[in-house]
Amino acid sequence: MTGLEFEKPVRDLQEKIAELKKFTSTSEVDLSDEIEKLELRLKKLEDDIYNSMTPWDRVQMARHPNRPTTLDYISYLFEGFFELHGDRTYGDDAAIVAGIAKYHGQPVTVIGHQRGRDTKENIQRTFGMPHPEGYRKALRLMKQAEKFNRPIICLIDTKGAYPGKAAEERGQSEAIARNIFEMAGLTVPVICVVIGEGGSGGALALGVGDRLFMLENSTYSVISPEGAAALLWKDAGLAKRAAETMKITAPDLRALGIVDEIIPEVRGGAHRDAKRQAELMDEVLKPAIKQLLTMEQTSLVDQRYEKYKRIGGYAEQTTGLKD
Amino acid sequence: MAIKNMFTKQKPKKIKYATIPSEAAKQDVPEGIMQKCPKCKKIMYTRELQKNLHVCFGCGYHYPMRAHERIKSLLDEGSFRELDAGLSTANPLQFPDYEEKIAADRKKTGLNEAIVTGVGSIDGYPSAFAFMDSSFRMGSMGSVVGEKITRAVEEAIRLRIPFIIFTASGGARMQEGVLSLMQMAKTGAAFKRLSDRGGLIVSVMTHPTTGGVSASFASLGDFNFAEPGALIGFAGRRIIEQTIREKLPEDFQTAEFLLKCGQLDAVLHRSEMKEKLSFLLDIHQTGGGER
Ligand SMILES: [Zn+2]
């Protein structure tokens, strides 16, 4: 059982209940009354704990090794997913998966960061941290979707773009910048969902769209809490404090007007029931696509522009230099 | 007079309703009852091999496949309407011995040229098609191949249907010199035209797809696929080795190598080809077409 630190009281109680159940089944003594009481207590405890998660708790949840990945959601939500490879220039980056599929009968292009589900796969997929060719593959398939008038769904789940020598040589910055630039002008609906970690520009390169959704326990940030702590206070150990300060949780981003809607998670986190989690995502995704498909291409692009134009906090004084 | 008329005989565009295999092509059964896999040396019944779409039972080696066999393996029965079957070379450069070579290959293959084009359907979804056949002059591209592809693309534009091409070619046809080179531009321009009208283009590269063919229409699909083990590349291995004075890796310029290099959308086994193409045609029913 891979539990997180803050869930320990829940785990302890669950263990105790299991123990009593086992005891009841093997002995003459009937403890069902006791068990029932404890189960009620467990429910209350779960309510208490999962309803008051701190940002740091959510960071742990977003990074949970068993958290459902892009391919998990693809298998539950889409029919006939046909994976397509390569940037037609340099390589095929396994840190991003992309392809075409049907969503409730509607052809769509699906693109997402892909973490590995074990060490071997993580190495092959560079822990879901893309190289420029990954972003260029994504862009190639977005342009293809545009040509054939298919909506695009992007699933975001990365610590960030891969920090490496080869990535820089091949233009990591240019690849991210190009995606932002081109996504702003796509004439088809683009829906982005943060399913795990939304790490910086590496996440945003799949993240400029008409709707941005976040799973309840996902995070989206300009830098990892560890990175921020190291930069701000020269101490990566202060990551917890950074997480609280930086506004990286779904409720925080909703309050800032960046996220359009929060997708509720299965109690205790998406990893408890990936299939159910996919259903919860479906409930938000389906009406959103339906609505966006009714929009004209130009108003789609204009609306997207307005969406991003609104974001930012500033004060303005009249200078008299311009009116 | 249009420039092309200086080189090609004026013939009305013929549409043949018969399905492709001419009598000669039907008789072209590979040698003998048994065959040995060139890769794993497994001995197999030719009949069984044919039924298995010419894929080795032992190692999955994909034998070259004749155009008419591909049509049979992929298209709905009786749906294929061949285009421009009557087009043949006029030896535009008066290249010595060229006509004799063409005549010999015609006899050998039952084809007029290295490509069969037409309109048909897969699981009921209509599309224009081009199937190159490497048993005719190594599938090399001269004026006829270029013209037939271009006309098939024009037919796709006219009917507002997708265009699917199976390539198999050693490249440009030397006997037609620079006219061959220009077929790259002609076919490329046709592809651009179809694409700009929202048309779907699928290219499936089969063994071998090299030189001027890989450097033109074969690489211009919205989807570029290849069969396993297919040799795909621009310059030949020997030339590269001589130039860089290095031994190239074993898998250099194979379909799998190209997939790693980001050049292909997928490598598709022959057994899944029909299903995948059918899915692509299905998914582009809505959303495709003119914008
Ligand atoms: Zn074999």
| Contact with chain A for residue B9, Cβ under 8 A | no
* Contact yes or no for A225/A242 (Cβ under 8 A): yes
Burial class (CB in 10 A: 0-12, 13-18, 19+), A5: exposed
- Measured CA to CA in angstroms, residue B214 lies from B1, B141, B169, B217, B234 at distances of 32, 11, 8, 7, 6
Cα separation, A231 vs A78, whole angstroms: 41
Mutate which of B123, B276, B283 to disrupt the A interface (most A C-beta within 10 Å)? Answer: B283
- Measured CA to CA in angstroms, residue B176 lies from B94, B95, B145, B218, B250 at distances of 9, 8, 11, 20, 33
Pick from A92, A106, A144: CB nearest B262: A92
**Interval between CA B26 and ligand 1 midpoint (Å):** 25
Residue for token digits 């002995």? A27
Q: B290 pLDDT exceeds 60?
A: no
Q: B7 pLDDT exceeds 60?
A: no
Burial class (CB in 10 A: 0-12, 13-18, 19+), A122: middle
Tell me the DSSP string of B139-190.
G-B-HHHHHHHHHHHHHHHHHT--EEEEEEE-SB-GGGHHHHHHHHHHHHHH
Pick from A82, A106, A148: CB nearest B276: A82
Chain A nearest-CA residue for B221 = A144
A chain contacts of residue B278, beta-carbon cutoff 8 Å: none
- The model's confidence at residue B14, banded by pLDDT at 50, 70 and 90, is very low
Cα separation, A122 vs A128, whole angstroms: 7
Mutate which of A79, A89, A108, A149 to disrupt the B interface (most B C-beta within 10 Å)? Answer: A149
What pLDDT score does A323 carry?
52
What pLDDT score does B24 carry?
44
Mean pLDDT in residue range B216-229? 97
Q: Which is more confidently placed, B3 or A220?
A: A220
Cα separation, A223 vs A200, whole angstroms: 6
Can the peptide bond before residue B208 be classed as cis, meaning omega within 30 degrees of 0? yes
ipTM given for this complex: 0.83
User: What is the number of other CB atoms lying within 10 angstroms of the CB of residue A202?
Assistant: 27
Q: What predicted TM-score, i.e. pTM, was given to this entire model?
A: 0.87
Tell me the DSSP string of A284-308.
HHHHHHHHHTTS-HHHHHHHHHHHH
Give the pLDDT confidence of B68-106 residue by residue, as tens digits: 999 999 999 999 999 999 999 999 999 999 999 999 999
pLDDT (tens place) for every residue of chain A, 323 residues total: 467 888 889 888 999 898 888 888 887 777 888 888 888 999 998 888 888 899 999 999 999 999 999 999 999 999 999 999 999 999 999 999 999 999 999 999 999 999 998 999 999 999 999 999 999 999 999 999 999 999 999 999 999 999 999 999 999 999 999 999 999 999 999 999 999 999 999 999 999 999 999 999 999 999 889 888 888 898 888 899 999 899 999 999 999 999 999 999 999 999 999 999 999 999 999 999 999 999 988 899 999 999 999 898 888 887 766 55
B chain contacts of residue A85, beta-carbon cutoff 8 Å: 259, 262, 264-266
What pLDDT score does A322 carry?
59
| Contact with chain A for residue B262, Cβ under 8 A | yes
Residue for token digits 């190209």? B258
Q: B187 pLDDT exceeds 70?
A: yes
Contacts of residue B76, defined as CB under 8 A and 6 or more positions apart, other chains included, come to B120, B121, B122, B123, B124
What pLDDT score does A51 carry?
86
| Contact with chain A for residue B288, Cβ under 8 A | yes
The token pair that represents A144 in the structure block:
């293809």
| Per-chain mean pLDDT for chain B | 89
Whether B279 sits inside 8 A of A86 (CB atoms) is no
Tell me the DSSP string of B252-265.
TTBHHHHHHTT--S
- Measured CA to CA in angstroms, residue B263 lies from A13, A95, A115, B225 at distances of 55, 17, 23, 9
User: How many CA atoms lie less than 13 Å away from B185 in the CB half-sphere?
Assistant: 5
Q: By C-alpha distance, which of B213, B225, B222 is closest to B195?
A: B222
* Contact yes or no for A261/A212 (Cβ under 8 A): no
**Interval between CA A65 and ligand 1 midpoint (Å):** 42
Whether B284 sits inside 8 A of A148 (CB atoms) is yes
Angle (CA) A39 A44 A50, round 5°? 120
Cα separation, A180 vs A161, whole angstroms: 14
Contacts of residue A180, defined as CB under 8 A and 6 or more positions apart, other chains included, come to A204, A205, A208
* Contact yes or no for A290/A88 (Cβ under 8 A): no
User: What is the number of other CB atoms lying within 10 angstroms of the CB of residue B150?
Assistant: 22
Angle (CA) A61 A63 A66, round 5°? 85
What pLDDT score does A20 carry?
85
Assign A151 to helix, strand or coil. Answer: coil
- With a pLDDT cut of 70, the percent of chain B lying above it is 87
What pLDDT score does B31 carry?
60
Assign A215 to helix, strand or coil. Answer: strand
- Measured CA to CA in angstroms, residue A187 lies from A134, A148, A182, B23 at distances of 22, 10, 10, 51
Lowest mean pLDDT among A133-142, B45-54, B145-154, B282-291: B282-291
Query: What is the identity of the amino acid at B282?
Result: D
- Tally the residues of chain A: 323
Cα separation, B88 vs B90, whole angstroms: 7
A chain contacts of residue B261, beta-carbon cutoff 8 Å: 86, 90-92
